[in-house]
Amino acid sequence: MYQIVKKRVLNPTVSLMEVSAPHIAKIALPGQFIILRIDETGERIPLTVAGYDREAGTITIIFQKVGYTTERLDKLTEGDALLDFVGPLGVASEFAGMKQTAVIGGGLGVAIAYPQAKALFDLGAQVDLIVGFRTKDLIILEEELTAASTELTVMTDDGSNGHKGFVTAALKEKLDMGKKYDTVIAIGPLLMMKAVCDLTKESGIHTIVSMNSTMIDGTGMCGCCRLTVGGKTKFACVDGPDFDGHQVDFAEAIARSRMFHKEEAAIIEHHCRLTGGAK
């Protein structure tokens, strides 16, 4: 069992947990992920390693309440425990040669962008961190993001924080002002990452995206997380999650991501007539 040693509510739909998992904390690196299961009847869900404390033996995860399992996970608190917590999985991010970077995060993708930006910043790179949220009430980790970047730009769709627009608008403005980046890292919704890649392709800037596809076993055997990169089939769980964004077939990835929307909505909405709970 893996005990939850800390829980922090970041906004009405997003929570942070620190989980005791010494064997994972000992070797985890930015870009990797874990797969957890709440109990014997629970589904397996992948979550990015948002942080680790090797001395304390803890792994930090950040999740949004978007489905049945994350709703259940959010009901747990400090002192509770998870049945399974497997990792680290995936290929750790490569930062060699990156000196001038822009790290782009959208929505919950900001939780994944944070450890990437921090790792680069700690290595001495210049890091322009651009993050986007729908409204100011959903902004998370602003203090941590500031400390992990050379310059932080926070955008909101509705402009409620004084900076209205999408992350791509902020990136384009920086490029138009003469900013030079050797690499752009984009993490967030598929449509956002595609838009960033379309923009950076025009400028010939190497762009890395994090593909968080549907996963089951995390070993490449089930094939659920497959995607096409450079015309070849790849698996996000063992070949990624980082890929060259200009090589990703986003049309295919977006279509696959929508395959189970009806089923996901149905399980959240369905309530047992006997217990009143979701089934």
Residue 56's SS3 state is coil
Residues 183 and 240 in one domain: no
Residue 271's SS3 state is strand
- Helix (H), strand (E) counts: the chain: 9, 16
Residues 217 and 261 in one domain: yes
Residues 201 and 129 in one domain: yes
Residue that finishes a domain, picked among 38, 58, 89: 89
- Preceding omega of 88 cis (within 30 degrees of 0): yes
Residues 100 and 197 in one domain: yes
Residue 219: its pLDDT value, please?
74
CATH number of the domain that 44 lies in?
2.40.30.10
Residue 279: its pLDDT value, please?
47
Residue 162: its pLDDT value, please?
86
Helices (H), ranges, the chain: 22-25, 68-74, 109-122, 142-147, 167-176, 190-203, 236-239, 250-257, 261-269
Residues 37 and 144 in one domain: no
Residue ranges, the chain, pLDDT below 70: 258-279
CATH number of the domain that 111 lies in?
3.40.50.80
In terms of residue numbers, what domain contains 218?
213-279
Residue 274: its pLDDT value, please?
45
Residue that finishes a domain, picked among 26, 56, 89: 89
Residues 128 and 226 in one domain: no
Residues 181 and 249 in one domain: no
Residue 123's SS3 state is coil
Residues 258 and 156 in one domain: no
Residue that finishes a domain, picked among 89, 123, 146: 89
With beta carbons less than 8 A apart as the criterion, state whether 181 and 129 touch. Answer: no
Residues 186 and 115 in one domain: yes
Residues 11 and 76 in one domain: yes
Residues 54 and 138 in one domain: no
Count how many domains the chain has: 3
Residue 225: its pLDDT value, please?
81
